[in-house]
């Protein structure tokens, strides 16, 4: 399931974040790569131990905590602290699959990567190329979103970033461990939750709302791994 989550950050928040991170310490993007990804990856990454990276990451985490679409789609249990990358001058990231387990350096924190997220921090007309291509059973999906929008997709997906031939592509990326491990089950729950919300908005007194809400929570209770 691919879910676009618009306006995770406002344009003002994006501008403030870019002001915070653009002049910080950027390093070779392979500092977080596994052996497979290191062969395909050409980009820069904001050093994760900098104050700017931590402050910017906290802004994103705070925004996600109050985003109902994100919560409905991800059913998050653990969220890896957001990282930041940028591509320019032909840099790209070839086909790869994200590592299944992602530890946080110098800590005992680790997550199973059920979902991957990319939050775009540059407007799409400010750079050429840089599309995130995600392959699934329905084909290849080319994604290039407005600054402040985010794409959420299964970490099992084969994906890549096409070469950036003009301008600079800046984004945040991170992983999530969901309370519901199976993507098919999460998709069913997401569809049901959205349907319940739509029914509540159009007919708040409908007697089926309570019953459907109960079914939703009983399925979460059955499928959750926490």
List C-alpha distances in Å: 175 to 99, 124, 154: 10, 23, 10
**Torsions phi, psi for 104 (to 5 deg):** -95, 120
SS (H, E, C) 18-48: HHHHCCCCEEEHHHHCCHHHHCCECCEEECC
Check the annotation: does 98 bind a ligand: yes
Strands (E), 113-149: 115-120, 128-129, 132-136, 139-143
135 is in an annotated binding site: no
Per-residue CA distances from 169 to 29, 78, 108 (Å): 14, 27, 32
Residue 43, Cβ neighbours under 10 Å: how many? 20
Interstrand relation of 150-154 and 115-120 (parallel, antiparallel or unpaired): antiparallel
Element holding 57 (H helix, E strand): helix 51-65
Binding-site residues, in ranges, read 96, 98, 159, 169
Binding-site residues for 2-oxoglutarate, in ranges, read 169
Binding-site residues for Fe cation, in ranges, read 96, 98, 159
């Amino acid at each position: 399931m691919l879910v676009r989550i618009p306006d995770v950050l406002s344009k003002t928040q994006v501008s403030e974040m870019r002001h915070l991170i653009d002049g910080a310490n950027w390093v070779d993007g392979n500092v977080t790569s596994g052996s497979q990804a290191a062969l395909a990856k050409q980009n820069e990454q904001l050093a994760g131990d900098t104050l700017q990276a931590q402050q910017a990451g906290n802004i994103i985490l705070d925004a996600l905590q109050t985003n109902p679409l994100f919560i409905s789609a991800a059913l998050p249990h653990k969220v890896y602290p957001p990282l930041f990358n940028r591509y320019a001058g032909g840099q790209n990231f070839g086909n790869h699959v994200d590592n299944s387990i992602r530890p946080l350096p110098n800590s005992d924190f680790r997550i199973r990567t059920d979902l991957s997220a990319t939050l775009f921090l540059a407007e799409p007309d400010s750079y050429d190329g840089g599309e995130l291509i995600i392959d699934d059973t329905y084909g290849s999906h080319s994604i290039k979103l407005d600054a402040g929008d985010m794409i959420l997709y299964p970490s099992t997906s084969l994906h890549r970033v096409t070469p950036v031939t003009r301008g600079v592509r800046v984004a945040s990326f991170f992983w999530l461990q969901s309370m519901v491990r199976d993507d098919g089950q999460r998709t069913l729950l997401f569809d049901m939750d959205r349907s319940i919300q739509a029914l509540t908005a159009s007919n708040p007194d409908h007697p089926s709302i309570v019953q459907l809400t109960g079914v939703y929570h009983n399925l979460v209770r059955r499928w959750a791994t926490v």
